[in-house]
Structure 1
């Protein structure tokens, strides 16, 4: 049965309901890719962020430039939120497909506001509120149909009780460079959209008004921007990369920002060139890095081995996405874990870090550069699409929380005068495994660099004794890293005798954090651990947490349980269950909650 509620019935329904402001709601806008869906969500969220609301946003988009359904879901709250919501309060639809694809998420009291242009209808068996508003017609009358997204933003504002003036600064930031008249036209579109709803409905939708926020200033940023900012804060002044989803925003951010600090970004012909160029820049003494996704990481495998063999610092960001091959390039997955650890041929020391929030992405990026130079080896910072492109409220960053550590770099004054035909022992066998490093051009620092096995001064050597000495030296580097790494695990451990330990990696942290209190309400004592250092693996720390729990479950986005397998490789005599999702979508809190309950 198709049910279309007319405005007269809507008014009567909500007049009886009274006023009950919301502490939290979820809003989504959808339409065809390329018609301003992302900017609609950005304008809506930016205004709420500036008012002090906590936000979490996630975009669903197709792997093409234009066309195909896309939507932007934003969770708004007066208290911190770290994941997308189970349901949906308000759906803004620019086409019928948006209603058909997303209607199942709407709560019982959910509202759809849709552009009257496409004559929206509710699918069968849905008894929901549908308000059709002439977004396109209003925008056209104001000057251009392109402003229909602004009309929609205004309509939303009226429903949630937000004054159009809240968007003034946001609109100025976006359009003032085009002139004050453009700013005013867009603000007029917002006001007109708001007035249309107020005139038609009046106070009938008071139940959807948001409670006041705390007014505190916070950043609202994606993980990729945090990584780019972290690279600048770490002193990186060179990035070489090839565009790829979902890593491209790191490069795009730094193309704009890095020149302000005397740095540069080069778009290379492929990921092989990007990786080797970053190695060369690090050899010259510049903190340099590259960023890619799974397909690019595959191409970099040989170069990562070169970094390990030549003991050159190298930072790589891997933003995981759906695979294999081209796979699902714009969807969520965590299936690169084994490749991160084992894709290179031969044995090299390697550090793999896995931040789980946008804030951690910033601080861990700084630390990645420090560790790369201190241990003279490749460091891979791994995220996933939801963390890289999901947008979160972030408390002001503390730039006094970190330091720049460049490791052992010999200066001219510390190097003894070179005897004739003698060379600097760049690869000297040391107890720590870390040799003295010297930058090219330093007096008395001449040495050879090659990707084949070499002796202490870098000259090729196939001596079995030298091979073993150099290999053992390189592999000793990471012996102390677990002690030096500040927080290899995020641990929320309230129970010494937990019924359940939930382990995750990357963006699953927020969803798991939301599930733990729900389990507690059911009398289930649950602890939570998020793996932040994947290699070398924090075996002892994780074992300590596992011993406190009767059941252990690993939550991850892949089909084969890669994180669970890595844990089993390092931790013995433990039974692990897996909760896996690999359909391209992030875990919703309720589906994870139900899956955890079934395991206890």
Structure 2
């Protein structure tokens, strides 16, 4: 029996690949397996090749696999594009309708199954996705009743007749392939899972859930890949708690509404991707100048311009830190796991209100849309901190004086009132202003106000600004990453350690203000530092060099072709580094 297996299904976008993967992985989750998914899809509604890859394991995993065990193909293009991933004696389950052919040089076993024919016998080709997944499920020797339960949950709202036909499609395909092969594949029999209950969600859903838990009750947003699922989640969730979502006409309206919501005292967020964040930059500067808290999620994707809307990239760091004109304090957080997406969203709201600054939650497409297993969330960890928001009555102001909303304080954070509070009235403007918010061009006031706002960054405290796994006092290599690369780095490290190459690992979670002092001792003790990131200009490595130094130690491993890193790519890069040392 084996402890892990990799399964992929592919076809034309819009022909049921997504629903097939959903039910297949949901059934595996019910059995207690750990899962990690990667979705490759085109930037169109229908047509164009798409595939979903699921890694199944009896132990926690946070990376896609280098190779593939089973490929389920709805068309020949799927085989041509993906068969090279199959390990020797891997399996292709293909629809017999298109007369599948294994490409030359690929040592794989082909199982042509009448997937479409089975579906059409039941009344419509729409049932072929269930036939395809039923065939591969049977090869694994897993209990069909678990799979059928997942089918019932998915299609139950459509009535018992639809459920029965989908289950029948599963049964017929399973019987066909078992008869063809003489039973399940012994080499693909998975060890039993631990049976523990686990979440199986995408990062965007975890962010949405975190927003609800943080007390967010308003989300203005404009749909954009790969951020739309946050909006879609909150459209369903917020009304249950007295909140609402508004689909705005564009991202400029979304962020200015979000600023307005927070000014009114309601925890408000918006979410977008690179192109949307570009449109938001002026308004983010307004939030900085008016010291209005706001939480903004940037789910990075391939750029620039429209770029690669449905592909992986981590190229927005500079834009998120330096994008606004002028200088304002802001906080940029980068979660790296499903759990962190949840907890960091709550932390983002607390930080925004505590320091009265914009907080940007920076994820990437793989973390945002890659569905994966997660431990159950601990709601006892939730703490709400509204900072200097004045609750209750304000002290009376002097005659002809306004509330000192922008009062000079030692840490730069001023008392904050909301509209309607007695004695809380003040001016709010995007131009420079005095302590009461009145426009001011005084040079002395300007310097004091700039110093006041920037002072906040000196006091920012974030939970776990970096995550460190450092078993070696003086490792040969320190590997640094951010976002979704963490699990891939850990898997590569395990291979390197077996080869005698000592490694430590740091994940940077706070990108601004940069945690230089926390990271410095680990860089200092390493012989070489490898920074792994999905962009072309080594943005994270540049931030490290700027804030920490050690430019001579730092090597960059970059990938910007739209795909996430594979463990083998990091392993090979580090092996080659050691070969260079030995010459």
TM-score tier, shorter chain, comes to over 0.9
Partner of 1:478: 457
Partner of 1:394: 374
Match of 2:351 among 360, 371, 381: 371
Partner of 1:333: 313
Match of 1:491 among 468, 471, 475: 468
C-alpha separation in 2, matches of 1:311 and 1:127: 62
Q: What is the Cα deviation at residue 204 of structure 1?
A: 6.0
C-alpha separation in 1, matches of 2:263 and 2:282: 17
C-alpha separation in 2, matches of 1:40 and 1:220: 16
* Residues 451-466 of structure 1 aligned to structure 2 (within 5 Å): 451-466=430-445
Alpha carbons 2:140, 2:184 under 8 Å: kept? no
1:512 matches 2:489? yes
Partner of 1:76: 56
Q: Which runs of 5 or more residues in structure 2 are unaligned?
A: 579-583
Secondary structure at the counterpart of residue 371 of structure 1? helix
Partner of 1:560: 537
Match of 1:136 among 92, 97, 116: 116
C-alpha separation in 2, matches of 1:560 and 1:540: 24
Alpha carbons 1:307, 1:313 under 8 Å: kept? yes
* Residues 3-402 of structure 1 aligned to structure 2 (within 5 Å): 21-203=1-183, 205-402=185-382
C-alpha separation in 2, matches of 1:169 and 1:263: 34
Q: What is the Cα deviation at residue 506 of structure 1?
A: 0.3
Secondary structure at the counterpart of residue 183 of structure 1? helix
Q: How far does the alpha carbon of each residue in 1:435-477 deviate from its partner, in whole angstroms, 9 at most, with x for none?
A: 0000111001110000000000000000001101111001111
C-alpha separation in 2, matches of 1:204 and 1:64: 37
Q: What is the Cα deviation at residue 412 of structure 1?
A: 4.2
Alpha carbons 2:119, 2:131 under 8 Å: kept? yes
Partner of 1:546: 523
Q: How far does the alpha carbon of each residue in 1:111-164 deviate from its partner, in whole angstroms, 9 at most, with x for none?
A: 000000111011122232011000000111122210011011110111001121
TM-score normalised to structure 2 length:
0.98
Secondary structure at the counterpart of residue 59 of structure 2? coil
Secondary structure at the counterpart of residue 453 of structure 2? helix
Q: How far does the alpha carbon of each residue in 1:272-301 deviate from its partner, in whole angstroms, 9 at most, with x for none?
A: 000000000000000001000011111000
C-alpha separation in 2, matches of 1:561 and 1:410: 43
Secondary structure at the counterpart of residue 436 of structure 2? coil
1:521 matches 2:501? no
Secondary structure at the counterpart of residue 25 of structure 2? helix
1:583 matches 2:553? no
1:533 matches 2:510? yes
Q: What is the Cα deviation at residue 229 of structure 1?
A: 0.4
* Aligned residue-pair number: 577
Q: What is the Cα deviation at residue 193 of structure 1?
A: 1.2
Q: What is the Cα deviation at residue 531 of structure 1?
A: 0.4
Query: Which contiguous aligned blocks of 4+ residues in structure 1 show a shift greater than 4 angstroms?
Result: none
Q: Which runs of 5 or more residues in structure 1 are unaligned?
A: 1-20
Worse overlay, 568-577 or 320-329: 568-577
Alpha carbons 2:470, 2:504 under 8 Å: kept? yes
Match of 1:596 among 567, 574, 577: 574
Alpha carbons 2:89, 2:107 under 8 Å: kept? no
C-alpha separation in 1, matches of 2:163 and 2:558: 47
Secondary structure at the counterpart of residue 379 of structure 2? coil
Worse overlay, 120-129 or 423-432: 120-129
Match of 1:443 among 422, 444, 457: 422
C-alpha separation in 1, matches of 2:115 and 2:292: 57
Secondary structure at the counterpart of residue 400 of structure 1? helix
C-alpha separation in 2, matches of 1:328 and 1:172: 36
Alpha carbons 1:412, 1:443 under 8 Å: kept? no
Alpha carbons 2:302, 2:308 under 8 Å: kept? yes
Q: What is the Cα deviation at residue 169 of structure 1?
A: 2.6
Q: What is the Cα deviation at residue 181 of structure 1?
A: 1.6
Q: How far does the alpha carbon of each residue in 1:56-78 deviate from its partner, in whole angstroms, 9 at most, with x for none?
A: 00000000010000000000011
Alpha carbons 2:417, 2:424 under 8 Å: kept? yes
Q: What is the Cα deviation at residue 191 of structure 1?
A: 1.2
Alpha carbons 2:538, 2:556 under 8 Å: kept? yes
Alpha carbons 1:411, 1:442 under 8 Å: kept? no
C-alpha separation in 1, matches of 2:18 and 2:170: 17
Q: What is the Cα deviation at residue 592 of structure 1?
A: 1.3
Partner of 2:581: none
Cα RMSD (Å): 0.9
C-alpha separation in 2, matches of 1:236 and 1:355: 19
Match of 2:448 among 465, 469, 476: 469
C-alpha separation in 2, matches of 1:160 and 1:477: 56
Alpha carbons 2:213, 2:382 under 8 Å: kept? no
C-alpha separation in 2, matches of 1:217 and 1:127: 37
